[in-house]
Structure 1
Amino acid sequence: MQQRDSDQAHLLDRVQHHVDLIYRTNPLSVNLDSLATSLLELMRLDPAAAPPPQYVNHWSQRDAIAITYGDSILREGEKPLVTLKRFFDQHSEGLLTGVHILPFCPWSSDDGFSVLDYSSVNEALGTWDDVEAIAGSYDLMADLVINHCSARSLWFQNFLKGETPGKGYFFTASPEDDLSQVVRPRTSELLREVETSEGTRYVWCTFSHDQVDLDFRNPEVLKQFVSIVRHYLDNGVRIFRLDAVAFLWKVAGTTSLNLEETHEVVRLLRTLVEHAVPGALLITETNIPNQQNLSYFGNSNEAHCIYNFSLPPLLVNTLVTGNCQHLKMWMMSMPPAQNGTAYFNFIASHDGIGLRPAEGLLSDAELTSLVETMGQFGGHVSYRALEDGQSKPYEINISLFDALQGTTSGPDEWGVERFVCAHAIMLGLEGIPGIYIHSLLGTRNDYDRVENAGHYRAINRHQWDDEALESVLSREDSSHAQVFARIKALLAIRREQAAFHPNATQFTLHLGDAVFGFWRQSMDRRQSVFCISNISNAAIPLALSDINLIGTDDWVDLISGTHYHGRDEVIDVHPYQTVWITNLEGHSGAL
């Protein structure tokens, strides 16, 4: 009841409520009244503003987001952000409504996620004008690297010297503290010893010693990030990816993961962002077990969207084993996203295929088999540290195209079909699709980049030469051209179907272990789409009576254009073929 009252209050009261919950047990002295006022001033918001409409879906089936680094495509003599925009303008044919540009600020390591200066654009990529140009044509998604920043940043150098801004900005602990329960995704030492103007300190480093965790117990850190959010909004950013946000708040003696203060910071940022720019969104990047990930929806008052992290490992496992049992069981357990929230679906990213989100869904033996299978196709494995000092596979580093070039039995001739099948499944699911640029292009493992970069994640961070890319896309016999054309064809179909709205009804079908199927129904109940994929390397007969088609309706496969006129028909679904069977009466687009 307290939260409901807060939701109806004027903005100042709501922000006051958030900061009270964040800092009520804070060991540092905080003037909560002045803090709430300062945050509103930084965001240039009216303290008396009424709350915006709740539970509004700011998306539709027409939305699809491309995920890319700013320099994924290079052209001599041209800034990469300019090259990137021209590529999407020329080739996306209006099918991509948004672009997620991975960190474009100056950085010192981790390909952008060790930020030196949040207020600037990396000169090697372009300028704020180039960023705004992309934002003028696409919904721009940007990373708010909120948990940590570079050890070479001005903030950290000032921390060492006891100067501002930076003094008190970084989280410190003692080697004597109980840190045994801390959960983190790396095997490096958690604490880094540094010499400061006040003596030896031990700074907390969740990810690497060049990425030092910020201390949000200090409200000056919160104010800095609210100021950054305002700056990004002013430059056209409309979707904020809260990077590694689950690790934000730390307390010795706990896991320091998903703490209540972290959730409240997300609620605060949502309140500020949705008042500043109606339709601006927060997406939480929390590569953690499934149930913990779901918690970032809150009561429809935290993230607008959450990354569907369990989808990539489960879908890859399904396609290399030819068995969809685990994928079905997981999907049946997923609650439908409430209005005002949505899943952000992806099956490949700049990182690897995360394994933590599959824990509890796949057995240790199945995870081991998946890791070994990916090794056959050139993949590597990154590890995380356990409480007992041991290490455990954290993610598989491989391009998705190579990951799907065979099965547990080894490579085969079905690689392209299997790869397209993976995307057809994702594009049919409840949620907003995000497609990594190297999946759009069918990019292969980049072993040279791994060697040059010195880390495994570089295997899926290839940089295309613009002329070479245009050349392969112009050749019909190129797997890159085939993949790009077929994914765009699926996007073109998807955007015309009301049943593919991110919040439309979804039910799992039970058609055996080798056929993965689900049913989508539009919110006005006029259109149904039966999404059925053969996830094996053998043709499978499918009786239309098995999916309960209404016999009086006419039905059509949106992908092939084949018409069906009765429940008694039996169709052969080819290896890795997907059919999207819809009722013609509810179908809203042209075939």
Structure 2
Amino acid sequence: MTVKNMVQLITYPDSLGGNLKSLNSLLQKYFLDIFKGGVHILPPFPSSGDRGFAPLTYLEIEPKFGTWEDIKTIGKSFDVMVDLMVNHISRQSEYFQDFLKKGRESKYIDLFITLDKLWKDGKPLKEDIDKMFLRRALPYSTFKIEKTGNVEMVWTTFGKTDPSEQIDIDINSSITRELLTQLFMNFSENNVKIVRLDAVGYVIKKLGTSCFFVEPEIYEFLDWIKEVANSLGIELLPEVHSHYSIQYKLSEKGFWIYDFILPYSILEALINKSSEKLNQYIKTRPHKQFTMLDCHDGIPVKPDMDGIIDTKEARKLVEICLERGANLSLILSQQHKAEDGFDVHQIRGSYYSMLNCDDEAYLAARAIQFFVPGIPQVYYVGLLAGENDYEAVKATGEGREINRHNYSIEEVEQALEKDVVKRLLRLIKFRNEYPAFDGEFKIIESKRDEIIMKWTKDNKECTLIVDLKTYKSIINYVDESENNVQFKI
């Protein structure tokens, strides 16, 4: 399997039309030549929380979304990517439910991390926990076993409830590796071509460390899972939110990585009307990346941007986004906040809204994304130039719902009539079809208030020029007849 160097869609299974059949029908009708790079379907599995990210099983599809047949059908026309929450599984899964009933006698006991696997007496020490990169107040949950009445503490990295809905799995145990192998075989049988390893940075638990991306153990696991995927013709995309240097290590080992630096960097360049920092970054980043502007979470800030951003400048940018309706996800661990207390983990909102619903600025952002080397992904809300969904936040109390609007088929068709969306689709087609994007890339030195990027292959070349004062963007390119043509985005 080779990842296609074309634009991909990211969507929930029910966000475009309500289910997988409607998604496929919209894809077939409007987007066959748009998402030639494939479709990333966010978790379509039965789940007990976190909008699919607390899966009960990967062997079934949530009935209200459809069946594996529907995924298979989409896979006939598009390379399908799905998520594997390689760090955890749902508390409601048959595996953990069996453990809750039988405790240490459960056949699934080794699937989970009881605290005695780390502390001999099973009692957690504060000095160890203080070193960890925490995603909740404590990295474990307490459960009472039905059969014995015993209390068991198990590792839970994520989860807003106590006890958590997301139970960590022990990737070192043979039962876990057998399960993961079975899941990959099922993916392969159902036309899945790419698997995103969600939360893979948290899989190694080792006392005395942050329990995040623990080296070298993380590479041992990744090498093992890559071997399983390769044997089935599946590509892997590890998802790691961390300091960019960690991403670069993964890249050096030949893995695809996510460019979590780009969304903030493009936003900053457009809002501050300066290409200086963005150009510096683009010159040094690895090319083997998936690029994005928006997603189901938010724009990464800390720890992804540590060492790149000035926190005083970042505060100003965050304030502008908040004025435009965004909300924030904050860092919990005191030791992972900046020295001056800056603690923004992600800025949450639609990218279009963060750019003040300015069509030119938004199209400039997409043009920059598409010209930066990598596989561009477009989130479904961004595809339709969607705005902040305040009602969804109010109704659910979940800040991330601001950028997770579910579109009916009618709403999709209405959005496709918007000028900004029509222009974006034209731009995506150009990115998919112009041959120079498989060639050589370079940043052209420019004035501070413009961005110039160029791709060349044989006798084809295209140059993007973005004026940061006006946000007007043009592409100069050589067409089939070797004429110089200008494409005003």
Q: Given the two structures, how large is their TM-score scaled by the length of structure 1? A: 0.74
Q: Does 1:364 align with 2:311?
A: yes
Q: Does 1:219 align with 2:174?
A: yes
Residues 548-563 of structure 1 aligned to structure 2 (within 5 Å): none
- Cα distance, 1:368 vs structure 2: 1.1
Equivalent in the alignment of 1:188? 137
Q: Does 1:95 align with 2:51?
A: no
- Cα distance, 1:93 vs structure 2: 4.1
* Larger relative contact order (Cα-Cα within 8 Å, sequence gap ≥ 6): 2
Q: 1:389 to 1:91 in 2, by over 3 A?
A: closer
Residues 97-176 of structure 1 aligned to structure 2 (within 5 Å): 97=36, 98-160=38-100, 161-162=102-103, 163-173=105-115, 174-176=123-125
Q: Does 1:287 align with 2:287?
A: no
CA distance in 2, matches of 1:258, 1:587: 49
- Cα distance, 1:469 vs structure 2: 3.0
Per-residue CA distance 1:345-389 (angstroms, 9 max, x = gap)? 111111111112222111111221121111011000111212449
Range moving further from structure 2, 457-466 or 202-211: 202-211
CA distance in 2, matches of 1:433, 1:275: 26
- Cα distance, 1:270 vs structure 2: 1.8
CA distance in 1, matches of 2:212, 2:152: 22
- Cα distance, 1:398 vs structure 2: 0.4
Do the aligned residues in 2 keep the contact of 1:175 with 1:191 (CA within 8 Å)? no
Per-residue CA distance 1:87-138 (angstroms, 9 max, x = gap)? 1111114121211110000001111001111211001101111111111111
Residues 105-504 of structure 1 aligned to structure 2 (within 5 Å): 105-160=45-100, 161-162=102-103, 163-173=105-115, 174-176=123-125, 178-184=128-134, 186-196=135-145, 197=148, 199-208=150-159, 209-259=164-214, 260-277=216-233, 280-300=234-254, 303=255, 305-335=256-286, 337=287, 342-356=288-302, 357-388=304-335, 392-405=343-356, 415-474=358-417, 481-501=418-438, 504=439
Equivalent in the alignment of 2:119? none
Equivalent in the alignment of 2:12? 69
- Cα distance, 1:527 vs structure 2: 2.9
CA distance in 2, matches of 1:470, 1:299: 43
CA distance in 1, matches of 2:76, 2:483: 28
Among 510, 528, 536, the residue aligned to 2:461: 528
CA distance in 2, matches of 1:535, 1:348: 20
Q: 1:585 to 1:132 in 2, by over 3 A?
A: closer
Equivalent in the alignment of 1:565? none
Range moving further from structure 2, 159-168 or 506-515: 159-168
Equivalent in the alignment of 2:452? 517
Range moving further from structure 2, 397-406 or 240-249: 397-406
Equivalent in the alignment of 2:2? 58
CA distance in 1, matches of 2:70, 2:311: 46
Code of the aligned partner of 2:113 = F
Per-residue CA distance 1:51-79 (angstroms, 9 max, x = gap)? xxxxxx92454x2110000000236xxxx
Code of the aligned partner of 2:2 = H
Aligned residue for 1:168, secondary structure, equals: helix
Do the aligned residues in 2 keep the contact of 1:154 with 1:166 (CA within 8 Å)? no
Code of the aligned partner of 2:72 = E
Aligned residue for 1:74, secondary structure, equals: coil
Q: 1:587 to 1:128 in 2, by over 3 A?
A: farther
Per-residue CA distance 1:390-421 (angstroms, 9 max, x = gap)? 78211011011101117xxxxxxxx0111111
CA distance in 2, matches of 1:94, 1:158: 47
Q: 1:442 to 1:469 in 2, by over 3 A?
A: same
RMSD: 2.2
Equivalent in the alignment of 1:581? 476
Code of the aligned partner of 2:274 = N
Do the aligned residues in 2 keep the contact of 1:191 with 1:202 (CA within 8 Å)? yes
Code of the aligned partner of 1:92 = F
CA distance in 2, matches of 1:314, 1:121: 37
Q: 1:59 to 1:152 in 2, by over 3 A?
A: closer
- Cα distance, 1:290 vs structure 2: 1.1
Code of the aligned partner of 1:215 = D
Aligned residue for 1:493, secondary structure, equals: helix
Aligned residue for 1:288, secondary structure, equals: coil
Aligned residue for 1:215, secondary structure, equals: coil
- Cα distance, 1:187 vs structure 2: 4.2
- Cα distance, 1:252 vs structure 2: 1.2
Code of the aligned partner of 2:353 = D
Q: 1:213 to 1:323 in 2, by over 3 A?
A: same
CA distance in 2, matches of 1:222, 1:589: 55
Aligned residue for 2:331, secondary structure, equals: strand
Code of the aligned partner of 1:228 = L
Do the aligned residues in 1 keep the contact of 2:237 with 2:257 (CA within 8 Å)? yes
CA distance in 2, matches of 1:112, 1:281: 22
Per-residue CA distance 1:483-535 (angstroms, 9 max, x = gap)? 2211110122122322212xx3322222122112222233xx43332222112
Aligned residue for 1:365, secondary structure, equals: helix
- Cα distance, 1:181 vs structure 2: 1.7
Do the aligned residues in 2 keep the contact of 1:355 with 1:396 (CA within 8 Å)? yes
Do the aligned residues in 1 keep the contact of 2:443 with 2:454 (CA within 8 Å)? yes
- Cα distance, 1:170 vs structure 2: 1.6
Do the aligned residues in 1 keep the contact of 2:84 with 2:198 (CA within 8 Å)? yes
CA distance in 1, matches of 2:3, 2:85: 24
Aligned residue for 1:519, secondary structure, equals: strand
Aligned residue for 1:203, secondary structure, equals: strand
Code of the aligned partner of 2:475 = W
- Cα distance, 1:323 vs structure 2: 1.4
Do the aligned residues in 2 keep the contact of 1:180 with 1:387 (CA within 8 Å)? no
Among 68, 83, 99, the residue aligned to 2:22: 83
Q: 1:271 to 1:168 in 2, by over 3 A?
A: closer
Aligned residues: 463
Do the aligned residues in 2 keep the contact of 1:528 with 1:586 (CA within 8 Å)? no
CA distance in 2, matches of 1:332, 1:586: 32
Code of the aligned partner of 2:222 = V
CA distance in 1, matches of 2:468, 2:143: 53
CA distance in 1, matches of 2:449, 2:86: 42
Q: 1:588 to 1:159 in 2, by over 3 A?
A: farther
